[in-house]
A and B are shown apart, each in its own frame.
Chain A
Amino acid sequence: MNKVVHLHPMDDFKARSKAVLDNAGQRKNFRGAMDFLQTKRRAQFPDQEELQGLRELGSSIRRYSLAHLPRLLEQLEANLTANGVQVHWAQNGPEANAIALKIAQRVHAKRIIKGKSMVSEEVGFNHFMEAAGIEAFESDMGEYIVQLAGEAPSHIIMPAIHKTKQEIAQLFADEVPGVTYTEDVDALIQIGRRVLRRKFAEADIGLSGVNFMVAETGTLCLVENEGNGRMCTTVPKVHIAITGIEKVVEKLEHVPPLLSLLSRSATGQAVTTYVNMISGPRQPDEKDGPQEVHLILLDNGRTQAYADDELRATLQCIRCGACMNHCPVYARIGGHAYGTTYPGPIGSIISPHMLGLDTTYPLAFASTLCGACSEVCPVKIPITDILVRLRNEAQARPETEEATLRGSGAARTLVASTVWGMWSQVYSKSGLYKLASWFMSRGRALSPSEQGAWTRSRTPLVPAPKRLRDLMKDHKS
């Protein structure tokens, strides 16, 4: 199986988090960026009533789409095919990459220019193509910066959010031929524009993600501000779009409410600079546009989430990033600490389906359950409920063949399950509870001073000298 190189073992999650927490500069970057994005979003929703109504509508569109998902995917495929778009299906990352490579080899492609696509990150597209001798070049400014630095995105909307302009200025001076150090952001963007314009013109294939797919018309909708997405989907002779199976809606009229929620929640804009709706390749009488358009529909664990009535809501996501922008944990540890393609609250609930709960369950515990993510989610995903469910799944009895969640029970240990088993007995039998609490209060001097993670930054827990029932007895007498 093709290894996705930027994913790290979950054992390192705490170490990576601590490294960021100890880095005052990075913490300042994240705090500043989160404050900026929160303020921008808030300004877009001055009317609470309108916001809540629109969230309800957006949620109902996504839930309706999921309820009819197999039918909508077949309708989408039929209409795209009739429009001249070639539709491919991939069960996992390696299958998706193999499909793209086959297309690339058929057209003798040497260079692929990429628009922003988190799904391509999810399948490790760039490394796969490079191993096959094909250059995969990022063209979104943020993605270009992190690729130049040899890093992965730290945010799904703003990939280079962890970097200061000074760091980017140094990166450009070091890595882009002929560039001298400048901290002027306009000048830095013009450097990126100059480099990437050549790449657009030279590329054999353009790769993009998709924000929404419309079944009734066979249309792929992409939103962006920079114009690189339009370049990737218009200039090269071949356009390959890759996306998850859940992104489909039935009607074209389902797009405007979701589009409004997406751009306002993500970057605090009423609408993005470009909304690009693609319904087919270049026609015989047209003078530009790709001669071939392909769509790769990826499962990669999404059908596992779909099979569960509670976890299915995870697939309502429209990838706005508002949950991470408002998450007190993400704001402090940033995107890289998670070690997964999708960070933040949505990453914690979608990653277990892609990578298995056995390697990702610590993420479900990296939450205060404050509920900010659920409150701002534009399509009303009950993220905190799902986090709690995943915690329970992680502690469940080891998975059986019928288990619906890969890796469930991975956090279960003999000590923990024995302790909780005893706790359950004590708390469900009043006689046992009376006896246990009597011993606890009388034997409090025997409480250990080392109590694992609790005493690392807190004083030890010691039972009260008198039980509540003792206090009440004293009070009455």
Chain B
Amino acid sequence: MSAREEILNRLRNTHVAEQQAMPDIAGWFGAHRRSEDVVQRTARLRAALEAVHTEIHDVTHDNWSSVLLQVAIGKGLRHILIGATTPHGEQLQACQTKALQLIPYEQPIDTWQDLLFDGVDASLTLARGAVAETGSLILWPTPSEPRLMSLVPSIHFVLLDADTIHEDFYAAMTAESWSEGMPTNALLICGPSKTADIQQTLAYGAHGPKELVVLIRHADGRQA
């Protein structure tokens, strides 16, 4: 008999008297959720992100790319990795300056891994949404914006539309019907990478990005 069958048989042979009913998750979040508008959710997200060393800029559809370039140049960055075929990637390319090189993520990682690890200063990705309660950005990496963009470069820029900020993680996954189909990789990101493994002393920039910069894009130019 295979290990699988042996294990499953042992489990099946146990009569579990306690056949519980399905836990009421919706009931819990319904009773404990704050009712907030987009401005309040944005403020809560900002506070949670800033508490973990995240830099935040309020932007609009018209000025986000110039703000990003300005911040990047101010940090002395030489290049930014982008998804060239995304709408925001195209928009950024349209206003490119000579001071900054935009590197498109076009080839499979196997062909240029060393360059990504050693020769790319920063990256830009779009957030699918965010969670106000914990200050988490939701990223679903895509073929245009692959997984490593949000992990390997030392500085990670994230463009987030304010109207995609949900109150909590449960609200985000139910509003977007995540259970009907998950991508190969889904991420919640809250701040730059960090560790407290040496004598409980907090240090940022462990293995992932050392800095996280979030551009919160407001639909009608309204600033939180």
Contact = CB atoms under 8 A, between A and B. Distances in A.
Interface string B144-157: 00111001000000
A7 interface: no
B170 A185 contact: no
Contacts of B170: 253, 256-257
A105 interface: no
Given A201-B113, A253-B173, A271-B190, A196 B207 contact: yes
Contacts of A36: 200
A355 B104 CA distance: 53
- Which of B188, B192, B206 lies at the interface centre, i.e. has the most chain A CB atoms within 10 A of its CB? B206
Interface in B79-134: 105-109, 113-114, 117, 131, 133-134
B214 to A, nearest CB: 14
A53 B192 contact: no
A227 B212 CA distance: 13
B14 to A, nearest CB: 5
A285 B143 CA distance: 6
A217 B146 CA distance: 21
Contacts of A60: 20, 23
B206 A259 contact: no
Contact of B187 (A83, A217, A277): A277
A256 B184 contact: no
A282 B198 CA distance: 35
B184 A279 contact: yes
B189 interface: yes
A306 B8 CA distance: 11
Contact of B199 (A74, A139, A165, A283): A165
A68 B16 CA distance: 9
Contacts, number: 252
Interface residues on A, range: 35 or more
Contacts of B196: 158, 225, 267
Interface string A221-253: 000011110110011000000000100001111
A275 interface: yes
A91 B1 CA distance: 12
Nearest to B142: A286
Contact of A217 (B52, B179, B193): B179
A66 B23 CA distance: 13
A189 B10 contact: no
Contacts of A226: 193-195, 197, 206-208
A168 interface: yes
A70 B11 contact: yes
B11 A168 contact: no
A273 B28 contact: no
Contacts of B18: 63, 67, 309
A458 B28 CA distance: 52
A186 interface: yes
Contacts of A33: 200
A157 to B, nearest CB: 10
A287 B109 contact: yes
Contacts of A70: 8, 11-12
A90 B184 contact: no
A179 interface: no
- Which of B17, B168, B192, B205 lies at the interface centre, i.e. has the most chain A CB atoms within 10 A of its CB? B205
A61 B23 contact: yes
Contacts of A228: 206-207
Nearest to B145: A287
B188 A275 contact: yes
A192 B206 CA distance: 8
Interface string B164-182: 0000111001100011011
A89 interface: yes
A278 B151 contact: no
- Which of B4, B148, B187, B207 lies at the interface centre, i.e. has the most chain A CB atoms within 10 A of its CB? B207
- Which of B20, B23, B143 lies at the interface centre, i.e. has the most chain A CB atoms within 10 A of its CB? B23
Interface stretch (A140-148, A446-454, A467-475): A140-148
B32 interface: yes
Interface residues of B, number: 78
Interface string B193-223: 1111111110101111100000000000000
B198 A64 contact: no
Contacts of A278: 184-185
Interface in B5-33: 6-8, 10-14, 16-23, 25-26, 28-29, 32
Given A272-B190, A274-B189, A288-B147, A159 B184 contact: no
A64 B7 contact: no
A193 interface: yes
A57 interface: yes
Contact of A276 (B3, B179, B185): B185
A20 interface: no
B136 interface: yes
A164 B200 CA distance: 10
A251 B25 contact: yes
Contact of B146 (A139, A275, A289, A299): A289
Given A197-B207, A230-B151, A259-B169, 20 more contacts: A37-B200, A53-B28, A67-B18, A83-B184, A90-B3, A142-B195, A193-B205, A193-B207, A217-B178, A219-B182, A245-B7, A251-B22, A252-B182, A254-B25, A270-B133, A270-B134, A271-B135, A288-B108, A303-B7, A307-B10
Interface of B: 2-4, 6-8, 10-14, 16-23, 25-26, 28-29, 32, 48, 52, 105-109, 113-114, 117, 131, 133-136, 143, 146-148, 151, 168-170, 173-174, 178-179, 181-201, 203, 205-209
28 contacts: A53-B28, A54-B28, A63-B20, A69-B11, A83-B184, A89-B7, A90-B3, A91-B6, A140-B197, A142-B197, A163-B198, A185-B199, A201-B114, A216-B179, A226-B206, A227-B209, A230-B208, A253-B25, A254-B23, A256-B170, A256-B173, A271-B135, A277-B182, A278-B184, A283-B184, A299-B7, A306-B10, A309-B16
> Closest 7 CB pairs between A and B?
A227-B208, A142-B197, A226-B206, A271-B134, A227-B193, A275-B188, A227-B207
Interface of A: 32-33, 36-37, 50, 53-54, 57, 60-61, 63-64, 66-70, 73-74, 83, 89-91, 95, 139-142, 145, 158-161, 163-165, 168, 185-186, 188-190, 192-193, 196-197, 200-201, 216-219, 225-228, 230-231, 234-235, 245, 250-257, 259-260, 267, 270-283, 285-289, 297, 299, 303, 306-307, 309, 312
